[in-house]
Chain A
Amino acid sequence: MIKRRALSLIEFLITMVIMTFVFAGLIVVFSFLFKNIVYNFERSDMYGQVTYALDDMRLRFISAIETKTMFSSSNNEVDFFEFKGEKDIYNIRPNDATLYSATGSGSKVWYRYSLKDDGNLVLEVSFDDGNTYQVSDVLVDKRYRPRLSFVYVEGDEPNFFEADIKVVGEKNSALEMDLTEGIQTWFIGVVK
């Protein structure tokens, strides 16, 4: 004999009410988890881009041999920096000041760190003594609304200054980051 018994109407209704709460809870939980995952990815990406930009500056500024941007007593903060440095930053040749050419002679190029009109924080490179620049690398994407400043603190050595980058989250606008890196140049001073 087969003995089957389904849920009674009362049991079914109670189950429905409970399941409604459970699913509502699960939706809340999963939306929270999903939001957190998105926010954490964004936080990680922002941090990665800013530290990449600061590390790039630290490595590239070391070999600077000439600069068009200088700090002075009345101007100790600038929002871009233009200097002549090593094309191959891992092969520093201080005795060769000639510009790199397509024939392979020379080793130096002009660099500029700045915010472009589209909002990207970029590294630009010039092979014609700083007359025309082309974007070499987008360091911080415009969606994080980067702000860039180079600051000389009075009393510091004339070959030392700070690079500061501030960014704001795209999906989580409450997320702000403000990272500062100490920059040192080996061969030149950057203070008038």
Chain B
Amino acid sequence: MSNKKAINLIEILVCLVIIGLGVTVSMRIMVNGKIFCKNSEIKSDAMRVASLQMERLLAQSYDTLKTGCSDFFGCDDIINYYSGSENGISWDVSVEQKEEGDGCGGLSGKCIPYKEITTTALYREEPLSADKYRRVYLKNIVSYPYIHIKQMSLNAVDDFVGAGGYTVVGDSADSLRIEIDYPIKKNIIVLYNIALDVEDSSGIQPVDTIFTKCFMDGYGKNVVTRTPIITQPLINNMIEIHNVEPGEHVIEVKWYKDTTQGSINLKKANLILIAFEGDK
């Protein structure tokens, strides 16, 4: 005997409830998936905005990159253009001077400064509500340059070479002099060129010479040049000053002649410093 029975209304309703539950869950998954994708896109946009500001600052050199921050970071030096808004996403920037190395904090060894950049972008997740704000943070550094170059030049000034001892090349207003202030030890190569203007050569012998020498903080550094006045009116010299301590120093070029005869003036001169990172 077979006992077949068609589906009754109760069974249909139960089926519908089950189907309804399935559809509701599917819809929920779909809606949540859409929100998740949208939030990923918003977060990705925020990353892009933060990354754009980071790249803008990384394009700057160590010296031109200004330390400071926007209101959000709350440092001492507030810089207005370190905050803004792009495509509805607000961003903030902080640039902080830091240092790293076993010589930091007064210990012996190297202590290299660097500038740390932090960029952040504020975005709002969906569904929109007051507590749905999120931030992305990016950090990078601009390292301290390994090489620095400084140079200056002098045109003709009334600076006659003296015979009594070393005096700075140039007059009181404009002399062959560069001030340095590096935060780490440096090996410095000093190059200078001086063109002479022999205004009066009477009494100057072929063996009479002009001495030039580089001085740092008033102390002479070898090598001294000795240049015949009559036959060689151009002076060139290159020296290295090893392991210059961090801090302020003055580098000058001085000269004198070993005869009281004649009158020699400055025609043109230049001074170039190339500073490399020093030894430990």
Residues of chain B within 8 A (CB-CB) of A18 are 12-13, 16
**B9 partner, pick from A14, A153, A162, A180, beta carbons under 8 A:** A14
Given A18-B16, A159-B59, A181-B52: A36 touches B34 (CB 8 Å cut-off): yes
B55/A184 in contact, CB under 8 A: yes
Residues of chain B within 8 A (CB-CB) of A155 are 81
Distance between B21 CB and nearest chain A CB, rounded to angstroms: 13
Residues of chain A within 8 A (CB-CB) of B13 are 18
B56/A156 in contact, CB under 8 A: yes
A15/B12 in contact, CB under 8 A: yes
A22 to B20, CA, bound (A): 9
Within 8 A of B (CB), among A126-167: 153, 155-157, 159-160, 162
Instruction: Decide yes or no whether B258 CB sits under 8 A from chain A.
Output: no
Residues of chain A within 8 A (CB-CB) of B230 are none
Instruction: Decide yes or no whether A31 CB sits under 8 A from chain B.
Output: no
Within 8 A of A (CB), among B38-76: 41, 44-45, 48-49, 51-52, 54-56, 58-60, 64
Instruction: Decide yes or no whether B27 CB sits under 8 A from chain A.
Output: yes
Residues of chain B within 8 A (CB-CB) of A2 are 1-4
A3/B48 in contact, CB under 8 A: no
Distance between A50 CB and nearest chain B CB, rounded to angstroms: 10
Identify the stretch in A5-13, A64-72, A91-99 within 8 Å (CB) of chain B at 4 or more residues. A5-13
A15/B23 in contact, CB under 8 A: no
Distance between B152 CB and nearest chain A CB, rounded to angstroms: 24
B34/A4 in contact, CB under 8 A: no
Distance between B8 CB and nearest chain A CB, rounded to angstroms: 7
A178/B8 in contact, CB under 8 A: no
A14 to B52, CA, bound (A): 62
B9/A11 in contact, CB under 8 A: yes
A182/B23 in contact, CB under 8 A: no
A22 to B24, CA, bound (A): 13
B48/A160 in contact, CB under 8 A: no
Given A1-B1, A7-B6, A29-B23: A40 touches B45 (CB 8 Å cut-off): no
**Chain A interfacial positions (CB closer than 8 Å to B):** 1-7, 11, 14-15, 18, 22, 25-26, 29, 32-33, 36, 40, 43, 47, 153, 155-157, 159-160, 162, 178-182, 184
Can you show 5 pairs from A to B with CB atoms below 8 A apart?
A3-B3, A5-B5, A29-B23, A160-B56, A180-B87
